[in-house]
Structure 1
Amino acid sequence: MFIDSLKNYFFVDSDQTFGRNQKALQQSALRILLALTICIFAISEVHSFFILTETSLFGMNSLFLCILVGLLFFSKKYTQISASLFIITLLTTSSLLLTLNDELNAQKYALISLYSLPLITRLLFSFKVSLVTMLANIFPFYLITSENLISSQANIAVSFYFQLLTFITLNVGLPLAVSRIIYTLENNASRMRGFYRKLNQNYALYEEFFENTGTPTLLCDQRGRLIKVNQLARDLLAHSKQNKLADTRMSDWLSPLGDSGKFFWQSNTAECTLKQNKDVHIEIRRASLTKHGHYVLHLQNTTQLRAIQQELETSQQTNTRLAHFDLLTLLPNNRHFCRQVNQKFKEQESHLTGAMFIIRICQFKLLNKQYGKDNANKIILNFSKSLQKKLSDQAIIGRLRGVKFACFVPLGQAYLIQKNLSTLIHSVLPRQINIDGSMLNMEYQVGIAYYHTDGSTAEELLEHCEMALEYSTSTDRLSYYNHNLENKLIEEHELGLKLSAAIKNKELSIWLQPQVSPNGQIRSFEALARWNDGKRFIPPTTFIKVAEDLGLLPSLAENLLRELVTTLSVWNKEHIHTPIAFNLAGQELMNDAFFALLMSLISDNPWLNKMLELEITETSSVMTNPLIHKRLRSLSQYGISIAIDDFGTGQASLGQLIDIPANILKIDRRFIEPLPGDQRHIEIVKSTIQMAESLNMKVIAEGVETREQANLLASLGCHTLQGYYFGKPAPLSDWTARDNEKAKELRMVY
């Protein structure tokens, strides 16, 4: 115990790497040197007390001894100061012995002390201090050799060479050798610190990789002793934090199944159960065998998978049956559902009546993204179970694909009425589904067709249900099939093919409708798309809707915009400064290629910011998209005027005034039509105009058809009017014919 105390006192922080705690090294060296010096002075004190008679030397010795003891006491707190005082004490003692004492031995001891100072200063301070001490010792060397030369001529050579050897060995050789050793140790320590940092970095990377493999992973030796376990594996094996995994074995936590054997962790794969809970099944997969003979194992909780597999195995008797049913819900698939329904038709053909309907879960894409694939499958599974529970045993239910389910329900006469059938369907559809303890609100779309009336086979009824499903809306989610729907779908399909070809061949044309002041002077035009398919003019409301559904609006807008810019280029050269407004429904601005074309045309033709206006159809649902707002702000920065079309009928009328950098507001025709007889509409129009004026926005009223409407709007502050009263849309060629003669007459030529 005493020896350990001495070791801890003199070898301060002996476990520290050299250079990591240089102060501890200096403190340890100082204590050892002080302790040795105290011992020498103590022995000298005892010797002086019993043998010497000179009291002055005894008192000086006692003084130095007290100083050394004090330095040893304060060496921990004031290491540098104590070291400096120790050097001064040694220097003072040696100098006094060398100058005041005539004894030869005392002088030798003094010289040895002085010659030892470079070595001591190297241990306690830096190499530079040691070098200064070496140079300073030249003086006592010179002093002692000169005295010897004078006093003793007989042994001049012997004395001189002895002094020189002592001086070089103690004053130069040993300090330099020790400095070399310390330098080497410092370099080695520096390299070791570098290696240590790299080792720590590699270890941290290994720890991070091991902890974030994404699967429960552990490392064990050949006997199954756990060496390292990541957090996922800890959570899987030890459900309680009180259970420690350290110094345990694989067999303490897992029990092998089948013929995995005693050393099951050495197999490529092994099936096990938790010892704490036999119902939890764990699959072990050996990832690799390390150079040290350790095993890297991945664990997987297969409890739920085994339960599903067991449920499937018990419900499916043959491989043929597997081909007829959906694996998740165990409901008949599309083919087997049709087979069952057609079989029912054959068995009860004479008196059977019923309805076929397809159910589609509306928000499933959002649910799939929000809750993940596994929970989304649980939603489908719970929905199918709820449907089977609520429908009668006579009903046939199948899963067609994805989130579509088909049902055939035999009906009595009362349910042949659509109102009663709608009530029945609503009653069997679960409004909420439990998913991991949370109640999830469900929304559906349903397409319905009657047996006999709408089809006589399951395949025909399903096809008609699909058609009806396409026409279900957010307000009317139950849609019944009728022949008009089918004809309408066919017509829309044919119209879409014709429209696609017409856009490709640039067969759609631009018509212009004037926008005028109350006195009839034309201020600007609105460009309108018109399409004649060779037989008749197709109404814009019809072909624009088809183009939007088929994603053809960007191509259509590109053709019309190029033609319009060509005309505006001519007008600009002819100094016809009449702006033309161009309609965009939102789908075009979402298209990167069209937006790039628009920005390129504006950049190449700077005058377009005064000749081209953009009308944004507010009724388009995509107009609330942040990307469109960003692109409209970019156009506004180029000086392009932006108008909000059909104001008051769209997605968020007041919100658009904030999000869209518009400077023109167009009042929809539905607010103008009742004027001037409807006071309520007058107030709405008046407040809209006042609001626009407060926002420094121009106002254009659409659908003006009478003089009374024009006068009223002018009196309310609306100074730009558009409608049949002033002029119907006319082909662009009417305004550009004969060198733009008609266009020049409408406005002053500058």
Structure 2
Amino acid sequence: MASASLTITIVLAGFCIMFFTPELASARYGLLLFFTLPIILRICYGNKAAVAGMLLNVIPFAVLLINEPLAPLLGIDMSLPGTYIYLSSLVFLFFNFCLPVAVIRVLTSLEQQSQLNREQSKKLGKLVKRYQEIFNNGGTPSFFCDQQGRILHANKSARKLMHNAPADCRFIYELFTLTRPLIAGETAEAALHSDSNAIYKIQPASLIHHKKQLIHCFDISHTTAADKKIGQLKRQHITKHYSDALTELKNHHYWSHQFPQTLAHPHTVILLKLANLKDINLQYSFSAGDQVLADAAALLRNQLPSSVNLYRFPGAKFLLSVNTSQSSTENIPDWLEKHLPVQVIQRTGKKELMFNLQWRAGYCSSSGFTSAPLLAEACAIALSQTTPNRPCEQYDSKVVKLIRQDTRNKDRVKRLLDEGSLALWLQPQVDQHHKITGFEVLARLDDPAENQILQPYQFLPQIEKNK
């Protein structure tokens, strides 16, 4: 309101002096007020208002050039006896007091703002020095680069990296083996050109209000080496877990792992057992038995068709996976007799030992089995039914019932014996005159839970078989 009042007062005073004072000398004072208007407009409103005032002052300047008094507007004459003194006083007060006071006020404000800016600049300078000190002494190598990757500033840790770099290293790409441009917020891994074993994680900081790049470099050499070692140990563990050290064959873990992939193609699974390995171990030592087992595995690899998958199972067992289209279950015994090795020869110095290999085999078709353990169990059941005269047997689900029944009988007999249910019955012996001459002792098993007395033929075979 004060700015508007001052502006309006100057304009009205100028109009009144110029149009209501017929004396030309007095009217010129009104023109001087118009000429001061751009300064007032600039102080109060800004550059655009000042330029507008300059352009409008062309009209009073034209009146001044005409140098003729203007006729009083509407016939009103404001001339007074002391008009000249009054107007001179007005112009004196305006130029000597009003205008200087306005300029002093503006300049005072500018000086105060300048002083405040200097104080803020000092504080900012101290803050910048603190951050500069933190940046320089930070343990992480950091670079300040432009958008092209040119190194503008580097802290102490970063300068140590640059000492080993070429003398003309001016770009971040000349220091690290970067394969792609750096993007704010995305990390990259790179090695030093001067040391390929020094691996760093390059992390450009996300600067929102700055066009430059702040790049932090984290040394991950030890972490990378540890990761490699862990990866190597993991691979070794997987290798040990899925392979057999003695025969170098894939083991039962690997077969179980890849079993679901074989369900799409029916195949025959054969569980082989080296039946006389126990005798070889007892007669020649366990090391000799291990060597026989390793040699037998090598012979199996060489003599079996390449389409047959061979695995080592715990103990003296091997598992063969045969594609049904190549060999059906009906001729498995003949197929085994044709492909299984029968002898292993070991040479120790001048001595030569020959070992005959006695194989037992239980086999089963994979059709109907969706679990590797169940299929292996079926082959193991078939293997348990083999004898020296029948070394190869096919899995039969009826045999499982007999085995389970036999197991239940064995457990029943053992339980009754542990409970002290064995009873001795005395059967009298009489002569022709029906006189008792002695007693025959008979063994019986009393099973109160079943309310049954077991005869010798019902429990003696179990005892003899499982003693």
Q: Which TM-score tier does this pair reach, normalised by the shorter chain?
A: 0.3 to 0.5
Q: Greater relative contact order (Cα 8 A, min sep 6): structure 1 or 2? A: 2
Give the structure-2-normalised TM-score. Answer: 0.44
**Which has the higher Rg, Structure 1 or Structure 2?**
2
Give the structure-1-normalised TM-score. Answer: 0.28
Larger relative helix fraction = 1
